[in-house]
Chains A and B, each alone.
Chain A
Amino acid sequence: MLILTCPYCGITADETELAPGGEAHLKRHGPGSGDDEFHSYLFTRENPRGVHFERWRHAYGCGKWFHAARDTMTLEVFGTYKAQTTEPPKEVRAAITARHPGWSWRDFS
């Protein structure tokens, strides 16, 4: 059972209380964007075997969307953070680096 802490209400919740929302930090393209940009936004995914950033919603709690940093190979959780950001905070990156020196995910490392 995956357990995440909601960064808004502070509740540590089982995954049955949460709803997964797919890959985090997608760049949302709109009118005027090209086919490649739409393809990347709508379909192409990182899908890494290892460090991954995701969106989750505290569906049966406060209802807020937040982000989580996880390892898809070990199911280890590195941290959760609020969704009002375009990149993971320093402490989450530090927690990942402690476990996976030299990691990278899209433009983050």
Chain B
Amino acid sequence: MKRYSAFAIAREALRNHTGWARAWRAAEPKRSYDVIIVGAGGHGLATAYYLGKNFGVTNVAVLEKGWLGGGNTGRNTTIIRSNYLQDPSAAIYEKSRSLYETLSQELNYNLMFSPRGVIMLAQTQHEVRGYRRTAHANALQGVTTEFISPARVKELVPIINLSGPRYPVLGGLWQARGGTARHDAVAWGYARACSDMGMDIIQKCEVTAIRREGGKVTGVDTSRGPIDCRKLGIVVAGHSGVLSDMAGFRLPIESVALQALVSEPIKPCMDVVVMANTVHGYMSQSDKGEMVIGGGADGYNNYTQRGSFHHIEETVRALIETFPMVSRLKMLRQWGGIVDMTGDRSPILSKTPVEGVFINCGWGTGGFKAIPGSGWGMAELMARGHSPLTEAFSLDRFREGRFIDESVAAGVAH
């Protein structure tokens, strides 16, 4: 792999940029691999990367039905934070956030990680109490957050209107080390590093069946022929149910559409991420100047990667009271992704009833922030059979009633 550097840019500038290599090889599927990961999104690629880096497992194929990073990895609002309430969540999200801090250097790929800070607004007395509680919990978990006053919110976000008639800003949960990153670059950076370790990333290769013998996985059938494997990782977000069907087990998952939108680009006006969970909206400004806006998910099952327009309308309507200037902006574009929602709104990283098949899913509306931590834990789980990071997120927690209830803790937008 040719390393990217300031020197490389200068060198290529002198020879008309003819020397840049492909970031990752366009691989043909081999007959067999030690490990197959289904899904070349952030989580799948991160799993493959840490399998190679932490455990030396490099005979790995990452299969992707569409194109690399074309699912939820390329459709989210790029927010990174770890201010969760429950201990298992705080552990995996904080691991993830801390990995993001040095990931650009580690992958030699600019992820544009921007720890600009994330505020979750408290706009009702319930939220004030809830976020104070979260700040205390975070202190015990070693996650640096604080509950800040409305005056401090205004200082951080000059465009905010604190005294809205329905939802005044009463304070906020501030995580100074939260922020954003370039979502595509996360997938591309991991893919480049995986390819460099000798792993095969195979795009436009759809898994059509999962072959099993005596309750153990032996391989997959794909649109590009059968491929054998000893271990299989299913990391396909919204389509997890389709893959688990092929493997013969059911999941506590429902797939729904979640939408986001960006405004026309404007001059820099807000240099932190603001989430307003009472009114179901969150907003940040991209480096291009667009206001990136997300909201709540649709309420019914949907695999179309587009949602209902009235959700966009509701999200923007909700934000207008808190950010009056939004009302003057034009919407540039809108899109949807299919998110996999679990009953307790926490992910599943687990062994499955089929020996050798592992699943990483259920990140719902908040998977992007978790990519490095999820890959770290999933790789350990697949290589060793257990991982302290993923232990609490096992598939059988629903049957046993060991929920990691973040649906109450984090509100909707997470």
Asked whether B241 is an interface residue with its Cβ less than 8 Å from the other chain, the reply is: yes
Residue of A nearest to B239 (CB): A49
Asked whether B168 is an interface residue with its Cβ less than 8 Å from the other chain, the reply is: no
Are B304 and A44 in contact, CB atoms less than 8 angstroms apart? no
Digit string of B370-414 for contact with A (CB within 8 Å is 1, else 0)?
A: 000000000000000000000000000011100000000000000
Are B242 and A49 in contact, CB atoms less than 8 angstroms apart? yes
Digit string of A43-58 for contact with B (CB within 8 Å is 1, else 0)?
A: 1111111001010000
Residue of B nearest to A35 (CB): B399
- Distance A2 CA – B300 CA, assembled complex (angstroms): 10
- Distance A44 CA – B399 CA, assembled complex (angstroms): 10
Report the interface size for chain B: residues with CB under 8 A from the other chain. Answer: 22
- Distance A94 CA – B251 CA, assembled complex (angstroms): 29
Shortest C-beta distance, A43 to chain B (Å), equals 4
Are B308 and A54 in contact, CB atoms less than 8 angstroms apart? no
- Distance A1 CA – B343 CA, assembled complex (angstroms): 26
Are B255 and A47 in contact, CB atoms less than 8 angstroms apart? yes
Are A49 and B343 in contact, CB atoms less than 8 angstroms apart? no
Are B251 and A20 in contact, CB atoms less than 8 angstroms apart? no
Are A20 and B252 in contact, CB atoms less than 8 angstroms apart? no
Are B250 and A44 in contact, CB atoms less than 8 angstroms apart? yes
Are B300 and A36 in contact, CB atoms less than 8 angstroms apart? no
Shortest C-beta distance, B242 to chain A (Å), equals 5
Residues in B lying within 8 Å of A, measured CB to CB:
239, 241-242, 250-255, 299-304, 308-310, 343, 398-400
Can you identify 16 A-B contacts, CB atoms within 8 angstroms? A23-B254, A35-B399, A39-B398, A42-B398, A43-B398, A43-B399, A44-B251, A44-B252, A45-B250, A47-B241, A47-B255, A49-B303, A70-B300, A72-B255, A72-B303, A75-B302
Residues in A lying within 8 Å of B, measured CB to CB:
1-2, 15-16, 19-20, 22-23, 35-36, 39, 42-49, 52, 54, 70, 72-75
Extra 18 A-B pairs, beta carbons < 8 Å, given A15-B308, A35-B399, A72-B303: A15-B310, A19-B299, A42-B343, A43-B343, A43-B399, A44-B398, A45-B241, A45-B252, A47-B241, A49-B241, A49-B242, A49-B255, A52-B301, A54-B301, A72-B302, A73-B304, A75-B302, A75-B304
